[in-house]
Amino acid sequence: MSAAHLDPTRRHDAVLLFDVTDGNPNGDPDAGNQPRTDDESGQGLVTDVAIKRKIRDTVSLLRGDDPRYGIFVEAGHALNTRIEGAFTANPPKISNKPTPAEAAVAQQWLCEHYFDVRMFGAVLSTGKGGGAGQVRGPLQLTFARSIDPIVPADHTITRVTQTRQDDIDKGERTEIGSKWTVPYGLYRTHVFYSAPRATKTGVTSDDLAALWQAMTVMFDHDRAATRGEMKLCGLYVFSHPDALGVAPSAALTQRVTLTRANDDKTPRTHTDYTRHIDEAELPGGVTLTKLVDLWP
């Protein structure tokens, strides 16, 4: 029998903790690429879309040669072309608006061939003839929010070559730019998996294995100069005994708590926080799997 967190017929609620040191975990293009923050609390934010992007890219690295693990939302590929390809793969090819039956067959084909459609869902109602409707995926994430407020820093940087030859001819030797970083932030996001929805999209135990593995290593394969050092600090999966679950998600995720180890010290590493997990008297049949836990 597979481990509880790999069972696609059970509901799962998870807590994911990661940190950033001297980097920008998710810049806001509407604010000069500053790190995203909650304007009222000052806490740092990372969108669910950014985290899903990391999962998609990592699954592609892990399972790139497997035809079941294509990535639907992928740079350089038009979504309409892929939607229409689902109809082409299931003759007869549509010339007008597809029937509900044709759309259902296309949806099934897309779920079978694209991991992110199967897991996250997708809007497929674009393209020729109105597309293939919408797939509601079983897995969703919240925005990640830092435990404490962050203090973004803007650094002036210089480059020793110019963009334009005219500037070099005028004697200019450097160009000035800027780079935003967060000195340190520990972020938390929650992950929710619905088994009934997974049944409709065809999620398997192998899909869950790919998901958890991707979350475990995604920061190691998403390095960039702008992001500084990011690492996964904790991944804790609460698995219910059945598809619908026996307790509210919040009753489980709130069992993972973080507090400052020393209120007089500015946090600069995950061990500047104390991580506590209340494992006593879990609801009947719920199991906890600690896939990653960097705290001693």
Considering the domain architecture, whether residues 197 and 249 belong to the same structural domain is answered as yes
Considering the domain architecture, whether residues 84 and 225 belong to the same structural domain is answered as no
Is-contact 15 236, C-beta < 8 A?
A: yes
In a domain, 131, yes or no: yes
Considering the domain architecture, whether residues 285 and 238 belong to the same structural domain is answered as yes
Considering the domain architecture, whether residues 132 and 269 belong to the same structural domain is answered as no
Alpha helices in the chain (DSSP H): 48-63, 79-88, 100-113, 115-120, 165-169, 195-201, 205-217, 249-253
Considering the domain architecture, whether residues 148 and 24 belong to the same structural domain is answered as yes
- pLDDT for res 93: 57
Considering the domain architecture, whether residues 23 and 147 belong to the same structural domain is answered as yes
pTM above threshold 0.75: yes
Instruction: Establish how many alpha carbons lie within 13 A of residue 113's alpha carbon, considering only the half-sphere containing its beta carbon.
Output: 13
| Number of domains observed in the structure of the chain | 2
In a domain, 207, yes or no: yes
In a domain, 59, yes or no: no
DSSP state of 17: E
Which residue, 136, 163, 198, sits at the end of a domain?
136
**Chain centroid offset of residue 119 CA:** 11
In a domain, 194, yes or no: yes
* Structural domain range at position 217: 4-47+143-153+180-293
Inter-CA distances, 122 with 146, 155, 192, Å: 28, 38, 17
Considering the domain architecture, whether residues 209 and 250 belong to the same structural domain is answered as yes
In a domain, 162, yes or no: no
Total Cβ atoms within 10 A of residue 293: 13
Q: What CA–CA distance (Å, rounded) separates 70 from 57?
A: 10
Considering the domain architecture, whether residues 18 and 34 belong to the same structural domain is answered as yes
Considering the domain architecture, whether residues 42 and 148 belong to the same structural domain is answered as yes
| Residues of the chain scoring pLDDT < 70 | 1-2, 91-96, 129
Which residue, 83, 110, 136, sits at the end of a domain?
136
Which residue, 136, 166, 188, sits at the end of a domain?
136
- pLDDT for res 1: 46
In a domain, 225, yes or no: yes
Considering the domain architecture, whether residues 125 and 148 belong to the same structural domain is answered as no
Q: What is the pLDDT of residues 194-243, one digit of tens each?
A: 999 999 999 999 999 999 999 999 999 999 999 999 999 999 999 999 99
Considering the domain architecture, whether residues 19 and 148 belong to the same structural domain is answered as yes
- Three-state secondary-structure class, residue 71: coil
Sign of CA dihedral 257, 260, 266, 270: negative
Is-contact 174 190, C-beta < 8 A?
A: no
Considering the domain architecture, whether residues 87 and 226 belong to the same structural domain is answered as no
